[in-house]
A and B are shown apart, each in its own frame.
Chain A
Amino acid sequence: MVDTYQMIVCGVGGQGILTITDIIVMAAQEKGLRVLGSEVHGMAQKGGSVVTNLKIGKELYSPVTPIGSCKVLIGLEQNETLRYLKYLKPGGFVLTSTTVLFPIVWKKDKKAAQLAREKIEENLAKYKAKIVRIDAEKLAIEAGLALAQNIVLLGALSQVEGFPLTVEELKVALKQRVPAKYLEENIKAFELGINAISNS
């Protein structure tokens, strides 16, 4: 157990959650580490809340990370970050995008949406966590590919202390996973993510 690195990636269906999970497991496998993850398919996931669990290490049994146990949480949408924060081990690391995607209930109730937005920093701060908020949308647009917000956060993840994979190892997997047509923009997004956390 001591050697197991547990993490969670969450967001809204369509944000590329499975893609960055893929890149992490590919890099880990290349390094000779064992990986075990869990994802949920099926119902049209577009627009639904999506979470993947991931464990990297040597002796791995169950694929699911229970409450209060993961070391890092990556959130591609800030309200989804809040939803899944309870799975973080106290003192763990949170990388969250400041992106907000409105679910239908908030399209109906603009006041609730506004209140949640005002309270988000306060709410996230209630958990004992090291939280870095990144404007992934802005950085992805800067990289030339608005969809690459997930890759921005992957770049940031490479800088988290104790994370078992290096920038180079992640880059190799990134190159294999993303379409060649958008490789340049993805690399740029990855590097902007690295800088974002170094500057924070």
Chain B
Amino acid sequence: MARVEELIANKKGRVLCLGNEAIARGAIESGVQIFAAYPGTPSSEVSNALIAAAPKLGYYAEWSTNEKVAFETAFAASITGVRAMTACKHVGINVLADALFSAAYMGTTGGFVVLVADDPNCFSSQNEQDSRWLGVTAQVPVLEPSNPQEAKEFTKLAFTISEKFEQIIILRSTTRISHARADIEFNEFESNFREGKFEKSLRYICLPALARANHPKLVAKLEEIKEWIPESGLSIIEGPDDNEYGVITSGISYSYLKDALALLEKDIPILKLGMIAPLDEQTILEFAKNKKNIIFIEEVDSYLEDRISALLLQNGLNPKIHGKCTNITNRYHELNSRLVAEALQGVIGGELESVSEINAISEETKEFVPFRPPLFCPGCQHRAAFWELSKVVRKNKGIFASDIGCYSLDPWVTDTILCMGGGISMANGFARVITDKPIFAFIGDSTFFHTGLPALANAVYQKANINILVLDNRMTAMTGFQPNPTEMLDIADVAKALGVEYVVEFDPYDFEKGKKTFEDALKHEGPTVIIMRKICANEWWRQTRRRGEKIEVYTIDPETCTACGTCLVQYQCPAIHWSIDTNSKGKNYSVIDPSMCTGCGVCAQICPFEAISKVVD
């Protein structure tokens, strides 16, 4: 990843960086003056870069408590004439959508850009939502870059378009652009930061009568933007002048398409759309006018296909449509150049090297390739907390509603994971209809402040008989250790202030205290809040090593160890392995890798044979 110094250097030249960092640079080159965001993969590096660069360049940036708060913060600034931006992942845009739909009616005066990064293939997400539709439903123009360099240029363009038409612009990326790494051409920039100037106007009040008047203005504005796209250079027609076939595409799918055509050694006309909402109807109709076949190449939903098919029909054009409706690509998962080449081959022909033999070998050797899911890190306090909890939950046949965060990796007790902040509310729902079992909700500190607070207030208000377990590891660890309000706000104080009567805090490594607390909490009527507070073990380990301090690791006595597997198979600490050698009884035993051990000592607490102890120098 690029260093902050490189991202803020005011000079021209090529710099190696991630697509997300290219977007951040685009915002810096545009003179963004306020930036607010909540982290979420695959969008986080945009925010990491812009928040790290802010104090150095003199603009304002913050990690907000959630996407809606971030959007509203940046939006307010933008209607005072300064350039503003927010960034989120696809599910994050749903959190801010409430504000977005109404802000679209109001428009803006300074440029306002909303970066949304979708995650086809669910690399680190709970669904494959296709955010392009927001261009239609929220009536906000959407720009879609096809590679990291274009992502940077489109960011700059987004600010310009936003100011030209006084409208919010969505910049839509996907994992393969956000997390692509390339040598990006940087440009020089000027920052003209200025004091915001708010001109009072009824357009910023969304009362029914005013909103009713604003909506036709928004529709007219979108018409105006639509008329302007052909001269913007955002729609590009490439390839030969041919009437048999034409492909319409946008975003990363364009890049796959270019490689796919090279694989097939074919050249056919391509229309690449840079703005996908509103649609550049004039160029699309011009392109499709005499074509016998129109092929749509796009990832996940049939967004372009459905909208453009309707447009063609409305204009009396009747080419044969090839796309999701003819199953040339799937409505799920991501594409690649091979999949696109196979999709095209069925329509336009061409030769492709067969991969059936490779597929057969892959299938044949599959059983030897182990499933290797990401696990809790060595020393992770989530693992310790879940271990102790799992006994209580199982013993009482409890129901366990978890939430989004590192703790989603729990291998033992989780029954549901829905969305950010969903655990506490789902627990409330379960508790209304299941009264003979204890109901648990689990939430991290960042998620607690994100959307947990309203759910907790509701649980207190409705006297929900649930046990809310908060794992406070002092940061937003999953997305890269971003800071959050837990630095300043004490969750126990917050819970008490909200009226929770039973609030207990303990160290998740302390199993004695944990067991007592859980048993005690179950006897309590009404919501309980149990806070397990400890800095993220991964971050603690890094900080300790950086300070050059010694970490007191643990070791296993080969003769006492019976290879029962409690520490290694059941507790699943990644720092523990089976020995290669055997002990005097001719048996394998467990071994702790000292380079991975964080010295948490939990294995020593749970070993039934007391075979584990601190290493003595």
Given known A61-B258, A64-B176, contact A34–B183 (CB-CB < 8 A) = yes
Of the residues A38, A80, A104, A127, contact of B358 by C-beta under 8 Å: A127
A29-B185 Cα distance, complex, nearest whole Å: 12
A113-B480 Cα distance, complex, nearest whole Å: 33
Q: Does B544 contact A (CB under 8 A)?
A: no
Query: Which residues of B are found within 8 Å of A159, using beta-carbon distances?
Result: none
Query: Which residues of B are found within 8 Å of A116, using beta-carbon distances?
Result: 368, 370
Q: Does B278 contact A (CB under 8 A)?
A: no
Q: Contact: B180 with A37, CB < 8 Å?
A: yes
Query: Which residues of A are found within 8 Å of B374, using beta-carbon distances?
Result: 13, 43-48
- Considering only residues 335-383 of chain B, those with a C-beta below 8 Å from chain A are 336-339, 353, 355, 357-359, 361-362, 364-365, 368-377
Q: Does A198 contact B (CB under 8 A)?
A: no
Q: Contact: A61 with B372, CB < 8 Å?
A: no
Measured CB to CB, the closest approach of chain A to B554, in angstroms, equals 18
Please encode chain B, from 581 to 596, with 1 for each CB lying within 8 Å of some chain A CB and 0 for all others: 0000000000000010
Q: Contact: B338 with A69, CB < 8 Å?
A: yes
A194-B329 Cα distance, complex, nearest whole Å: 44
Q: Does B505 contact A (CB under 8 A)?
A: no
A61-B359 Cα distance, complex, nearest whole Å: 25
Query: Which residues of B are found within 8 Å of A147, using beta-carbon distances?
Result: 595
Of the residues B44, B364, B369, B477, contact of A83 by C-beta under 8 Å: B369
Looking at B96-104, B157-165, B456-464, B568-576, the stretch in contact with chain A turns out to be B568-576
Interface centre among A37, A61, A85 (most CB of B within 10 A): A61
Q: Does A40 contact B (CB under 8 A)?
A: yes
Please encode chain B, from 136 to 169, with 1 for each CB lying within 8 Å of some chain A CB and 0 for all others: 0000000000011000000000000000000000
Q: Does B255 contact A (CB under 8 A)?
A: yes
- Considering only residues 2-56 of chain B, those with a C-beta below 8 Å from chain A are 14, 16, 41-42, 44-45
Query: Which residues of B are found within 8 Å of A123, using beta-carbon distances?
Result: 365, 368
Q: Contact: A25 with B578, CB < 8 Å?
A: no
Q: Contact: B364 with A38, CB < 8 Å?
A: no
Q: Contact: A102 with B578, CB < 8 Å?
A: yes
- Considering only residues 88-124 of chain B, those with a C-beta below 8 Å from chain A are 123-124
Query: Which residues of A are found within 8 Å of B373, using beta-carbon distances?
Result: 48, 103-104
Query: Which residues of B are found within 8 Å of A40, using beta-carbon distances?
Result: 123-124, 175, 179
Q: Does B577 contact A (CB under 8 A)?
A: yes
**Which of chain A's residues has its CB closest to B355's CB?**
A68
Q: How many residues on A have C-beta within 8 angstroms of the other chain's C-beta atoms?
A: 58
Query: Which residues of A are found within 8 Å of B123, using beta-carbon distances?
Result: 40, 42-43
Query: Which residues of A are found within 8 Å of B358, using beta-carbon distances?
Result: 67-68, 86, 90, 127
Given known A1-B262, A62-B258, A120-B368, contact A104–B572 (CB-CB < 8 A) = yes
A63-B595 Cα distance, complex, nearest whole Å: 34
Q: Does A49 contact B (CB under 8 A)?
A: yes
Q: Contact: A42 with B479, CB < 8 Å?
A: yes
Q: Does A126 contact B (CB under 8 A)?
A: yes
Q: Does B259 contact A (CB under 8 A)?
A: yes
Query: Which residues of B are found within 8 Å of A41, using beta-carbon distances?
Result: 41-42, 44-45, 124, 179, 480
A92-B7 Cα distance, complex, nearest whole Å: 37
Query: Which residues of B are found within 8 Å of A63, using beta-carbon distances?
Result: 147, 176, 180-182, 255
Q: Contact: A47 with B574, CB < 8 Å?
A: yes
A119-B367 Cα distance, complex, nearest whole Å: 11
**Which of chain A's residues has its CB closest to B588's CB?**
A110
Given known A66-B337, A82-B369, A120-B368, contact A42–B124 (CB-CB < 8 A) = yes
Q: Does B75 contact A (CB under 8 A)?
A: no
Query: Which residues of A are found within 8 Å of B357, using beta-carbon distances?
Result: 90
Please encode chain A, from 95 to 127, with 1 for each CB lying within 8 Å of some chain B CB and 0 for all others: 000000011111110101101100110010011
Q: Contact: A107 with B337, CB < 8 Å?
A: no
Q: Contact: B16 with A25, CB < 8 Å?
A: yes
- Considering only residues 7-35 of chain A, those with a C-beta below 8 Å from chain B are 12-13, 21, 25-26, 29, 34-35
Q: Contact: A29 with B180, CB < 8 Å?
A: no
Q: Contact: A126 with B365, CB < 8 Å?
A: yes
**Which of chain B's residues has its CB closest to A2's CB?**
B262
Q: Does B256 contact A (CB under 8 A)?
A: yes
Of the residues A37, A62, A102, A126, contact of B364 by C-beta under 8 Å: A126
Given known A36-B181, A86-B359, contact A44–B409 (CB-CB < 8 A) = yes
Q: Does A142 contact B (CB under 8 A)?
A: no
Q: Contact: B180 with A38, CB < 8 Å?
A: yes
Interface centre among B370, B373, B479 (most CB of A within 10 A): B370
**Which of chain B's residues has its CB closest to A147's CB?**
B595
Please encode chain B, from 239 to 272, with 1 for each CB lying within 8 Å of some chain A CB and 0 for all others: 0000000000000101110110011000000000
Q: Contact: A35 with B364, CB < 8 Å?
A: no
Q: Does A146 contact B (CB under 8 A)?
A: yes
Query: Which residues of A are found within 8 Å of B362, using beta-carbon distances?
Result: 85-86
Interface centre among B256, B338, B365, B578 (most CB of A within 10 A): B365
Given contacts A63-B182, A63-B255, 13 further A-B pairs with CB under 8 A are A21-B181, A35-B181, A36-B148, A42-B42, A44-B374, A44-B538, A61-B254, A86-B359, A103-B373, A107-B572, A107-B577, A108-B565, A112-B370
* CB<8 Å pairs between A and B, sample of 22: A35-B182, A37-B182, A41-B45, A41-B480, A42-B41, A42-B42, A42-B478, A43-B124, A44-B376, A46-B377, A61-B255, A62-B252, A66-B338, A79-B368, A82-B368, A85-B362, A103-B372, A103-B373, A104-B375, A104-B569, A107-B572, A119-B368
Chain B positions near chain A (C-beta within 8 angstroms):
14, 16, 41-42, 44-45, 123-124, 147-148, 175-176, 179-183, 252, 254-256, 258-259, 262-263, 336-339, 353, 355, 357-359, 361-362, 364-365, 368-377, 406, 409, 477-480, 538, 565, 568-569, 572, 574, 577-578, 595
Chain A positions near chain B (C-beta within 8 angstroms):
1, 12-13, 21, 25-26, 29, 34-49, 60-64, 66-69, 79-80, 82-83, 85-86, 90, 102-108, 110, 112-113, 115-116, 119-120, 123, 126-127, 146-147
The 3 A-B pairs of least Cβ separation, nearest first, read A42-B124, A66-B338, A42-B41
